Amino acid sequence: MTLSGSPTMPGAVPSLAVASSALGDRAGAAALAERLALPFLGVVKPRQVSEFDLLLFADDHGLALQATGKGAPGPVRVDFAGGKAGYRREHGGGTGQLVARAVGLQKTRARLHVLDATAGLGQDAFVLAGLGCQMTLFERSPIIHALLADGLARGLLNPTTSDIVARMTLHEGSSIDWLMAAGGEVADVIYLDPMFPHRDKSAAVKKEMQLFRPVVGDDDDAPALLAAALAAATYRVVVKRPRKAPSIEGPEPATRLEGKSSRYDIYSIKALPQG
């Protein structure tokens, strides 16, 4: 399991346990602890826990990643129906959104199969599934995978998101290994959003990132992932980067699309089908 750095002490490895609230799924949390070989604390209040930095915490809203101790930021969980994802689903701007343009949704009426090789919390994949793409997702961090699997399961039960979530299939493990083993074309478009080493301490780093980075690390093998993706995509590989970050080491992208904070590097293989 990849754990590196710490939200409180940079460089230290954060300690992690599984727990639940009084109203959470205690049995499910205990089973998850066993599967991930993590300590199970039973029912706790995260602010009163001092022996662990982070909890995978099952409460009445599902599974979350929660920092412990007094004054810790709130939980990070996957919520496709509410919050940012829900707002974006209703008011996001359809195929005009940068991520949709980068994947090429304005250029084709074909239903694209997109492989999201760095699924994370599934936010980008949910936007693309909402625009009709068939999504295959890979996540290699067992902790992030558990959060995303829980969010997808809840999303499938919610009538406002079930049709979209039904187009998303999640796999656990390294997409590099899978792409290399598959050999040949496996998806129309392969989408990559690896972690980028962030040194900007002054910026208000999003809560998700504060908790996320120590858990997943810096994805230093992004060049190998890009190479594997280029060998396995039919039409294009799309890489999301912070706006000013260099491209992933390897071939130069054919085009770049810049937004306010992010940029999409597009590696074209051949033209998208018309319809």
Ligand X SMILES: C[S@@+](CC[C@H](N)C(=O)[O-])C[C@H]1O[C@@H](n2cnc3c(N)ncnc32)[C@H](O)[C@@H]1O
Residues that bind ligand X in the complex, under the rule CB under 6 A: 117-118, 120-124, 138-141, 144, 174-176, 193-195, 216, 219, 225
| Smaller CB separation from ligand X, 49 or 137 | 137
Q: Kindly state the smallest distance separating residue 124's Cβ from ligand X, in Å.
A: 4
Q: Kindly state the smallest distance separating residue 123's Cβ from ligand X, in Å.
A: 3
| Smaller CB separation from ligand X, 24 or 138 | 138
List the structure tokens of 5. Answer: 């750095």
Selection from 120, 107, 114, 152 nearest residue 133 by Cα: 114
Q: Which amino acid is at 168?
A: M
Q: Let me know if 274 is exposed, middle or buried by CB neighbors in 10 A (0-12, 13-18, 19+).
A: exposed
| Smaller CB separation from ligand X, 18 or 117 | 117
CA distance 108 to 96: 13
CA distance 100 to 207: 25
| Residue 34 marked as a ligand binder | no
Report helix, strand and coil shares of the chain as percent, to nearest 5: 30, 25, 45
Q: Kindly state the smallest distance separating residue 175's Cβ from ligand X, in Å.
A: 4
| Smaller CB separation from ligand X, 30 or 245 | 245
C-alpha dist (Å) from residue 228 to 125, 166, 183, 213: 20, 27, 9, 24
Angle at 266 between CA 261 and CA 271, to 5 degrees: 145
| Residue 175 marked as a ligand binder | yes
| Residue 265 marked as a ligand binder | no
| Smaller CB separation from ligand X, 33 or 241 | 241
Q: What are phi and psi of 140, to 5 degrees?
A: -95, -20
Q: Kindly state the smallest distance separating residue 197's Cβ from ligand X, in Å.
A: 12
Q: Kindly state the smallest distance separating residue 84's Cβ from ligand X, in Å.
A: 11
Nearest residue to ligand X, by Cβ distance, number only: 120
| Residue 21 marked as a ligand binder | no
| Residue 208 marked as a ligand binder | no
Residues placed in the known binding site for S-adenosyl-L-methionine = 139-140, 174-175, 193
